[in-house]
Amino acid sequence: MTQAKARAAYERLAGRFARIGTLDEAGAMLGWDASAMMPPGGAAARGDQLAVLAGLGHELLTAPDVAADLAEAEEAEDPDPWRAANLRLMRHAHTRANALPGELVEAAARANSACEKIWREARRAADFSRVLPAFTEVVRLAREEARALGAALGLSPYDALMDGYQRGIGAADVAPIFAAYEKFLAEALPRAEAVAASHPAPRRPAGPFPVAAQAALCRRLAERAGLTFDHARLDSSEHPFCGGTPSDVRITTRYDEADGLKAVFAVLHETGHALYERDLPPAFARQPVGSAAGMAAHESQSLIVEMQAVRSDAFLGWLGPELAGTFGPDPAYEPENLGRLCRWVERGFIRVDADEITYPAHVILRFRLESALIEGAFEPADLPAAWNEGMKALLGIVPPDDALGCLQDIHWYDGVFGYFPSYSLGAMAAAQLMATARRAVSGLDAALAVGDLGPLRGWLAENVHAKASLHGFNELLRTATGRPLDPAAFQAHLTERYLA
């Protein structure tokens, strides 16, 4: 009888989480529309819409009968590992939601939506002061959320926010990994710059690059990687991203008529995210266990496509003629030049334009700043100065204005704190997964040489995508590669690609 009652309670929970998942999907689509389609005049109403959806989801998750059903479902151990994992994740989601008052959830949603719109104007004007009042409110609410979540989860405030993006990974796990990388960077970056300087500077393709031609090429490349547009869209936005739902994936990019490669690599990056979403198990759609294993896991999938596969010599040899066929013949598309161009090492201000070696420095900076900001070590008004000091310490450069400094990313101004470590953890996991895939998949590089990502996508679908949230980040890597996250794989990849 206990087993039957437990299973009945589980099924009630599954039905409730399916409704919550549907609300989340609606919010995701409204969020995509706000970035890709919505006219500026719709911002206030959109903030209300997102806030109400967030509030409804919170009400469903914190209703009194949820606690009763969780307790009843947990009385008997479920022999099915997927249902057992789903129940654990339901409990975790309930604990997080119960820690936050509904009015705080809605207030944060409104503040984040309003601040993100002002951030766009502030970045265009390179003027942090324009967004400071709205950003101060976002930080105030984020700190309040972090304290409440930390108390409920037994974590520090910042760790509680990190937990929302990658379960089981905290600042104490990340800090030594980043400290070790900073030491590696101090030695590797000058060497990589010297190696680059020993070769002729790469030629840049001659533009302009019409947006329509870029968009058509980007769509073909996404399809070549395995994304089918009966379940996806490609649009433009201020900041490239992947959103939507597993059956209706929305990817965006930013086109620049002076640089035809930026959009190409951005789209292939977002396609990696999209393929992960498309390959999640439909049997557990809208259930916690059926979602991706966290944002570090998600970033590993975008980066294994963009950085590990697409920027390999094999794939670039195929991509060059595709670029020439789209934009016209140009010696810049010759394999050797294209390789140097796509893997040029340079200390720059913009994270999304950074090379593989310097990119983690941008993430380390943001990790240190956001953790200090949430913990109250400095105030929002101090961010530009703290940013510039940190950038000088890590890369020896100081941005000339706020647009090239603390205003360049959308994340904080949209209330997202604790996400940034996922980028570099994902890059490290991508290197580890790619090394394993090369050993496991015969002819992987030969396939890349003809522009075929199918063998890689198939291996990832089986070993990562189809596992969804059955495992945590390190256990997912262990099942796929035989060991938890090993940053040495990333350093070995960088050494081979940039220091040889």
| Residues catalogued as catalytic | 270
Question: Which DSSP string corresponds to 240-261?
Answer: --EEEETTEEEEEE--BTTBHH
**Residue 484 CB partners (closer than 8 Å, separation 6+):** 474, 475, 477, 478
- Name beta bridge partners: 235: 252
Burial of 166 (0-12, 13-18, 19+ CB in 10 A): buried
Q: How far is CA 62 from CA 17, 50, 368, in A?
A: 11, 18, 33
Q: Closest Cα partner for 234 from 260, 264, 209? A: 264
Cβ 432 vs Cβ 477: under 8 Å:
yes
> Distance from CA of residue 15 to its chain's centroid?
28
C-alpha–C-alpha distance, residues 8 and 16, integer Å: 13
Query: Contact at 8 Å (CB) between 46 and 34?
Result: yes
- Is 21:469 a contact under the CB 8 Å cutoff? no
- Which residues 6+ apart lie within 8 Å of 12 measured at CB? 65, 69
Pairing, β 248-253 against β 232-236: parallel
* DSSP track, 362-404: HHHHHHHHHHHHHTTSS-GGGHHHHHHHHHHHHHS---SSSTT
Judge contact between 307 and 427, C-beta under 8 A. Answer: yes
How many whole angstroms separate alpha carbon 190 and alpha carbon 357? 11
Provide the 3-class DSSP secondary structure of residue 134: helix
Question: Which one-letter DSSP state was computed for residue 196?
Answer: H
Cα–Cα distance measured from residue 66 to residue 77, given in angstroms and rounded to the nearest whole number = 18
Helices (runs of H) and strands (runs of E) counted in the chain = 20, 3
Task: List all residues 6 or more positions away from 79 whose beta carbon is below 8 Å from its beta carbon.
Answer: none
